[in-house]
């Protein structure tokens, strides 16, 4: 996400190379949570109520307005570690203070807590057309039993047999297409993958966040089930031809990924531990070991 926000896709396109990835202006959907909230408000996309705060006094007022559990998000990029969800008001304030300490222009977003199961849906776009992939569900807490700090994701699975049958259609109609349309209307079309992080709350579908790229660990389970050519879809998105592509084909099989993280993650990690058992795992049918970082 950092290269996208910095404009790598603009540089590649200027060199005449088709590029799958949003411009710097469009990648702001991930680069600034405050900007994403503004786009969603204009496009009438359902999301959590939020306050954008630039000092601790505003943070305190927003925390008291929503009450616990408190949701505090760094406005900028934080490599999946910028969100704290806690019952402890002091912990929420401390996280906000660390975010604001980044200097001039720093902001935090204080949100209402969204109940209900979370769902991830990646949508390909060429700036106009939206093609959804298969939905997945991931798990953010570091420890068993949904305990421990928030992470960038500790595991995921797809498909979701419990999800409503019209879930994907609803997300495209109410979230992805209106967002893509609004970005086009602003003169900053979003061409690439729009990750929609969603909560199925007691009051209906709500957007938790957008990402401007494929993200772990959901990508692993979603792409493992894709029978169509990923390369053809990405090239079509990069060259404005998504509306000409045949429907995607999906395996009926289920896919699961489990993240085995370094000791201490998502805080200070212990480096240098040996990874064992890779060959034995790879020898099992349908099993792949993917290395990150």
Q: For 235-257, how does the pLDDT look when each residue is reduced to its tens digit (9 = 90+)?
A: 999 999 999 999 999 999 999 99
Assigned superfamily of 2-48+114-282:
ATP-grasp fold, B domain (3.30.470.20)
**Average pLDDT over the chain, rounded to an integer:** 93
The ranges assigned to domains in the chain are 2-48+114-282, 49-113
- pLDDT for 13 beyond 90: yes
- Is residue 176 a contact partner of residue 196, using CB atoms and an 8 Å limit? yes
- Band of the pLDDT at 135, cuts 50, 70, 90? very high
Classify residue 93 by burial, with Cβ atoms within 10 Å: 0-12, 13-18, 19+. Answer: middle
Tens of pLDDT, residue by residue over 143-193, are 988 888 888 899 999 999 999 999 999 999 999 999 999 999 999 999 999
Query: What pLDDT, in 10s, does the model give residues 25-64?
Result: 999 999 988 899 999 999 999 998 888 898 899 999 899 9
Query: What global pTM score does this model have?
Result: 0.87
The position carrying tokens 């949570």 is: 33
Of 232, 217, 229, nearest to 288 by C-alpha is 217
Half-sphere exposure at residue 250, Cβ-oriented, CA atoms within 13 angstroms: 15
2-48+114-282 and 49-113 share one CATH topology? no
Determine whether 224 is exposed, middle or buried from the number of CB atoms within 10 Å of its CB (0-12, 13-18, 19+): middle
Structure tokens at 64: 């008291």
- Which two tokens mark 210? 């957008």
What pLDDT, in 10s, does the model give residues 75-132? 777 655 578 888 889 999 999 988 888 777 788 889 988 888 999 999 999 999 999 9
CATH number of 49-113: 3.30.1490.20
pLDDT at 81: 58
């Amino acid at each position: 996400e950092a290269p996208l926000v910095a404009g790598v896709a603009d540089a590649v396109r200027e060199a005449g190379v088709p590029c799958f990835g949003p411009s710097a202006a469009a990648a702001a959907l991930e680069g600034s949570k405050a900007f994403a909230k503004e786009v969603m408000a204009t496009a009438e996309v359902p999301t959590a109520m939020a306050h954008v705060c630039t000092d601790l006094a505003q943070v305190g007022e927003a925390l008291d307005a929503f009450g616990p559990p408190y949701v505090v998000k760094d406005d900028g990029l934080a490599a999946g570690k910028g969100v704290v969800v806690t019952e402890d008001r002091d912990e929420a304030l401390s996280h906000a203070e660390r975010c604001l300490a980044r200097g001039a222009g720093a902001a935090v977003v204080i949100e209402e807590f969204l109940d209900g199961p979370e769902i991830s849906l990646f949508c390909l776009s060429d700036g106009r057309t939206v093609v959804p992939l298969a939905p997945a569900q991931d798990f953010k807490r570091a420890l068993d039993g949904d305990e421990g700090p928030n992470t960038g994701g500790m595991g995921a699975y797809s498909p979701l047999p419990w999800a409503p049958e019209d879930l994907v259609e609803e997300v495209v109609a109410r979230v992805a297409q209106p967002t893509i349309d609004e970005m086009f209307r602003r003169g900053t079309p979003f061409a690439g993958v729009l990750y929609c992080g969603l909560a199925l709350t007691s009051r209906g579908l709500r957007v938790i966040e957008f990402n401007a790229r494929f993200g772990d660990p959901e990508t692993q389970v979603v792409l493992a089930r894709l029978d169509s050519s990923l390369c053809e879809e990405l090239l079509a998105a990069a060259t404005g031809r998504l509306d000409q592509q045949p429907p995607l084909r999906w395996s009926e099989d289920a896919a699961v990924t489990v993240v085995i993280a370094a000791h201490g993650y998502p805080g200070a990690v212990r480096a240098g531990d040996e990874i064992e058992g890779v060959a034995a795992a790879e020898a099992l049918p349908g099993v792949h070991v993917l290395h990150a970082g």
